[in-house]
Structure 1
Amino acid sequence: MDTMILTGSVYGFAEDIARVIESQLIRARCAVQIVNDPDPVRCVLRADELPLFIVSTTGNGDIPKPFKPFVLAVASGSIGTLPQHYALIALGDSAFTDFCGAGRKLEAALVARGMQQLHDKLEFDASTDIDYEDVATDWTNEILVPSLI
């Protein structure tokens, strides 16, 4: 199954994780494409691909500004047909009240549109998960790749 990695970030952390996962998927001979801050008008999610969302939380639970139009389009239904399944990596900092709030808001919008998680979301905590490359690599190899093959 093809994978489209869609990122939403302010400082590029989501994009860094996307590149780590992309390299693992390529090694596993999976087709992958990265779309940073997807445009809700031009972004087309195909039924035969898995969207993997990697979204950072800014402030106290806020969705990054460049990614917000996409989330609003999902929530409003203005993005057409969505695939049945998705995967989600939410980035946040547990020092804030709304830990991984952006990921949880996206998750609520996806579920409201009838999508189902392929697996439980992976939540990164900026306060404790300093070795994100190893965590992302392990999650990709142990959870994501077996689901795609």
Structure 2
Amino acid sequence: MAKIALMVGTVYGAAEYVAEQALPLLASFDHEVSFYNDAKLDNVLAFDADIWLVITSTTGDGDIPDNLFPFYLELQNRFPLLTGKRFAVVALGDSSYDTFCGAGEQFRSLLLELQGTELAPMLRIDAGETLEPETLALPWLEQCFSAV
């Protein structure tokens, strides 16, 4: 069993829907999950998760959604080292843009900079190819989190 902090960045609800679908899957592996739709760094740190899971869409020109951007800035500014913590990122985007999955890329880079260890390579889901991102995300999450 692991403690998982699940942070979501969403604009139109797709990333939030994927995260909501992930909750029962993660619980089925006896993981304790704390869901953050409007994450605050102090709350996430207080939960003391073993694994940070970020599920985020990309908006604008590779930008992090408004509900997750303040959390990203808190991480950047306060720079809490995540040594010994693992993380995973599910990024939703559209490959017709130059900044495909830019929000996920930014989070992945920052979490690596904070000395987190990537649990699995970032999952990039292309809205141009997949209308239901959960069909790709859930099997990936099952593979990543079933053995944790």
Equivalences for 1:8-27 in 2 at 5 Å?
Answer: 8-27=9-28
After superposition, the C-alpha distances for 1:31-73 in whole angstroms (9 at most, x for unaligned) are 2121112123443265552110011100120111221111122
C-alpha displacement at 1:81, in angstroms?
A: 4.3
The root-mean-square deviation of aligned C-alpha atoms, in Å, is 1.8
* Counterpart-to-counterpart distance in 2, 1:33 and 1:48: 9
After superposition, the C-alpha distances for 1:5-49 in whole angstroms (9 at most, x for unaligned) are 110111121110111111111222222121112123443265552
Say whether residues 1:145 and 2:124 are aligned partners.
no
* Counterpart-to-counterpart distance in 2, 1:79 and 1:43: 14
The corresponding residue for 2:71 is: 70
* Counterpart-to-counterpart distance in 1, 2:40 and 2:48: 18
The corresponding residue for 1:80 is: 80
Paired residues, number: 146
* Counterpart-to-counterpart distance in 2, 1:132 and 1:22: 15
Post-superposition, which runs of at least 4 consecutive aligned residues in structure 1 deviate over 6 A? none
Name the amino acid aligned to 1:80. Answer: P
The corresponding residue for 2:122 is: 121
* Counterpart-to-counterpart distance in 2, 1:36 and 1:102: 15
* Counterpart-to-counterpart distance in 1, 2:99 and 2:49: 33
* Counterpart-to-counterpart distance in 1, 2:107 and 2:88: 11
C-alpha displacement at 1:144, in angstroms?
A: 2.2
The corresponding residue for 2:90 is: 89
Provide the TM-score with structure 2 as the length reference: 0.88
Name structure 2 gaps, 5 residues minimum: none
